[in-house]
Structure 1
Amino acid sequence: MFVDSHCHLDRIDPEKVGTDLAGLVENARKNNVEHMLCVCVTLDEYPQMRDTVSAYDNVSISCGVHPLYVNEESMGADEMAAKLTELASEPRVVAIGETGLDYFYDPDSKVKQQNNFEQHIAVAGQLNKPLIIHTREAREDTLAMLKQGHADKPGGVLHCFTESYEMAKEAIDSLDFYISISGIASFRNASELRDTVKALPLDKLLIETDSPWLAPVPHRGKVNQPAYVTDVAKCVADVKGITLEEVARVTTENFYKLFKAS
């Protein structure tokens, strides 16, 4: 059985995939995907996201503000920190995020991103819930802020990982973090990422779709969905020269170790 450790079910357009949420969950079940983690990107949208997936016991949720959405939040910094703590305290929330730093797409909001990230790290420590980290072109600051905030206590994952092997190894060695692999690893031009996947220990890897984006081979060009996480697992198995069954077993165990409330 497989777990999609990071998806955005509320953002998958039913018209583009030809089915509703119930159909997406059923598609996942038919592909032996037993659990999904639906990830929040703004606090304003969190209640609707939570309610959208509330009927499904095999869908967990997170709560947080994506670094590329920090300018869209309607609340001030103090109010947002209090609201994050309130919402993330809900029992069904198993993780804080996604949060992090993205200097590639929005370098102008760097300071605001850092303040937002610092708040999320603090809330994760307070609630003892793991962090879901988005990082792009911000390797040194991401690791430094996680260390300064003692993020090794709640733990976490660098999701949809595309950075260097050195960053992944540092996150594992110094923070005991997990590294999540998406469909990007199956792309033809992702040879460096595949080398990183090959070098990293399987017991620190997760798999994800990040759907509706980044559909893996052989689904490129389609809207992504949790059912396709099995193709990410196949890519990992091929790269590491191990069986698909082993990837399924270990990454599923890793998911439940990290997200203990799932």
Structure 2
Amino acid sequence: MLIDSHVNLHAHQFDADRDEVIHRAREAGVELMVNICDRVSNFPAVRAVAEAADIWCTVGTHPHEAKEDPALTPETLCALAGDPKVVGIGETGLDFHYDLSPRDVQAKVFRAHVEAARRMGLPLVVHTREADEVMGDILEEEYARAPFRMLMHCYTSGAELAARAAALGAWFSVSGIATFRTAEDVRAIIRDMPADRIIVETDCPYLAPVPYRGRRNEPAYLPHVLAKLAELRGWSLSEAEGRTQQAFFDLFDRIPRP
């Protein structure tokens, strides 16, 4: 089973041909997708895509959008996460590259998501960019308060943060970045990720893998990501597919296993 653990199919880039994109994904063998929420105010659009039987969703606010609701509470997130099609909390985290929201607001909103994930028993989908030390500190502080499951999505941060997150039991997802010519540092970290906690994603419409780099990404391109993962880990394609499927259902356990 091919599973795209991180799609943004509600994005405006798909407004003209969303149904066709979903059809191409199925034709390419992608049997399940998780549509990721970019901000709580946009949850209705995110959830609408998940009306399809093979698409699930999350609820949360990306760090870029944290300024939209600095007072976001775990209670608000938990109420929306009661929807049976919601399988995770996020995408949330810290992004100190663009700083589109104040850093203190990002951290406060991120901690609200952590608490919601903890209360709901759902995985936390973590975005982190150029915030390794602060992210590691927050994850360790929060985990010490009470455990929660986390996914370091589209991981491109450093080896030290990867090790700190792995020590807390984190899962990691591999994206099309692994295929980029200049991404050897990312490939080095993928080679060391916990073998039983790796899943794959497209993060479409962003980060199209080679040979589609520069185009709009879509879930039908996921086989290229899986092939690169298999190459980097020395797995056959069937082994990579089986391992990532097992890891996905271990993490997103609200979704019934096939």
TM-score bucket (shorter structure) = over 0.9
- In structure 2, the partner of 1:30 is 27
Contact 2:64 2:100 in 1 (8 A): no
For residues 228 and 260 of structure 1, the distance between their equivalents in structure 2, rounded to whole angstroms, comes to 25
TM-score, length basis structure 2: 0.93
Query: What is the distance in 2 between the residues matched to 1:201 and 1:158?
Result: 12
User: Which SS does the other structure have where 1:13 is aligned?
Assistant: helix
Q: What is the aligned partner in structure 2 of residue 203 from structure 1? A: 196
Retained in 2: the 8 A contact 1:202–1:247?
no
Alignment-mate amino acid for residue 96 of structure 1: I
- Any idea what the Cα deviations from partners look like across 1:71-95, whole Å, max 9, x if unmatched? 234xx505x4432221122221110
Give the CA deviation at 1:12: 5.4
| Aligned counterpart, 1:158 | 152
For 1:34 and 1:100, the matched residues in 2 are separated by: 28
The answer (yes or no) to whether the contact 1:128–1:153 under 8 Å persists in 2 is no
Contact 2:139 2:165 in 1 (8 A): no
Q: Report matched runs for 1:1-262 at 5 Å.
A: 1-11=1-11, 13-14=13-14, 20-54=17-51, 56-73=52-69, 77=71, 80-106=73-99, 109-150=102-143, 153-173=147-167, 175-262=168-255
Work out the CA distance in 1 between the residues paired with 2:137 and 2:43.
28
Tell me the percent identity: 35
Secondary structure of the structure 2 residue equivalent to 1:3: strand
**Residue 169 (structure 1) shift:** 2.1
Question: Per-residue CA shift, 1:149-180, capped at 9, x if unaligned?
Answer: 2287330100011012222122112x101111
SS in 2 for 1:46: helix
Q: Counterparts of 1:202 and 1:225 in 2: how far apart (Å)? A: 26
Measured in 1, the distance between the counterparts of 2:218 and 2:226 equals 14
Which amino acid letter does the alignment assign opposite residue 46 of structure 1?
F
Q: Equivalent residue of 2:143, what SS?
A: coil
Letter in 2 for 1:69: E
Q: Which amino acid aligns with 1:208?
A: E
* Cα pair 1:12 1:212 within 8 Å, conserved: no
1:50–1:199 CA distance, 2 compared to 1 (3 A): same
Q: CA deviation at 1:9?
A: 0.7
Query: Alpha-carbon deviation of 1:224?
Result: 0.4
Letter in 1 for 2:4: D
The CA deviation at 1:22 is 2.5
Q: Report the Cα distance in structure 2 between the residues aligned to 1:107 and 1:142, rounded to whole angstroms.
A: 17
Q: 1:48 to 1:170 in 2, by over 3 A?
A: same
Cα distance in 1 for partners of 2:238, 2:129 equals 31
Unaligned runs of 5+ in 1: none
| Root mean square deviation of aligned Cα | 1.8
Deviation at 1:107, TM superposition (A): 7.2
Q: Comparing both chains, which one has the higher relative contact order based on Cα–Cα distances under 8 Å and sequence gaps of 6 or more? A: 1
- Structure 1 residues 108 and 154, CA, compared in 2 at 3 Å: closer, same or farther? closer
Q: How much has 1:26 moved relative to structure 2?
A: 1.9
Identify unmatched segments of 5+ residues in structure 2.
Answer: none
> C-alpha displacement at 1:25, in angstroms?
2.0
TM, length-normalised to structure 1: 0.91
